[in-house]
């Protein structure tokens, strides 16, 4: 059986935070989120904080929150380098979007650096569209793109 067929997605726990921080710091060396922010997100939005595990090892995570009571925001997502391009990121996004949708959220949004061409392609492949450019958004001075996606409503009630 291949490595990726063992991958499961679960809600993150406090015990996962150290591994999540390691992935965060190696993925965003210049501006990682702090452990305090992750602890707060886990406490307040645990339903939207997910990990991918290969056996007992956390190989990816995604965390989201509700923004202005209206948008599902993707706060952070990362997959460890050896496990990239195996659909782990896509599956994390699909699970988080499905949770937002089940909770009545119609749009998701996120910010991504204009320099992060891989992530821009990744989000594009998932149907995200660029709606805004914000200059000097990140601590390194790079600009941010805001991307959004309409979460189609399935099981619409028939009139």
Residues in touch with ligand COA (CB under 6 A)? 27, 77-79, 84-90, 112, 116, 118-119, 121-122, 125
Q: How far is the CB of 157 from ligand COA (least distance, A)?
A: 33
Q: Closer to ligand COA at the Cβ: 22 or 125?
A: 125
Q: Closer to ligand COA at the Cβ: 74 or 105?
A: 74
Q: Are 64 and 45 in contact (CB under 8 A)?
A: yes
User: Alpha-carbon Rg of the chain, whole angstroms?
Assistant: 16
Residues contacting residue 125 through CB under 8 Å, at least 6 positions apart:
90
Question: HSE on the CB side for 83, CA within 13 Å?
Answer: 24
Q: Closer to ligand COA at the Cβ: 104 or 139?
A: 139
Q: How far is the CB of 133 from ligand COA (least distance, A)?
A: 15
């Amino acid at each position: 059986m291949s490595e990726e067929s063992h991958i499961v997605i679960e809600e993150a726990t406090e015990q996962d935070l150290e591994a999540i921080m390691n992935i965060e710091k190696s993925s965003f060396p210049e501006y990682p989120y702090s452990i305090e922010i992750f602890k707060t997100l886990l406490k307040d939005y645990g339903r939207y904080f997910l990990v991918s595990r290969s056996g007992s090892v956390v190989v990816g995570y995604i965390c989201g929150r509700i923004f202005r009571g209206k948008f599902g925001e993707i706060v952070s997502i990362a997959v460890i380098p050896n496990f990239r391009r195996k659909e782990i990121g896509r599956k994390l996004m699909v699970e988080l979007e499905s949770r937002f949708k089940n909770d009545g959220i119609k749009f998701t949004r996120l910010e991504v650096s204009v320099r992060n061409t891989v992530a821009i392609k990744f989000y594009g492949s998932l149907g995200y569209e660029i709606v805004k450019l914000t200059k000097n958004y990140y601590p390194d001075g790079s600009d941010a793109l805001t991307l959004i996606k309409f979460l189609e409503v399935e099981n619409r009630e028939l009139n």
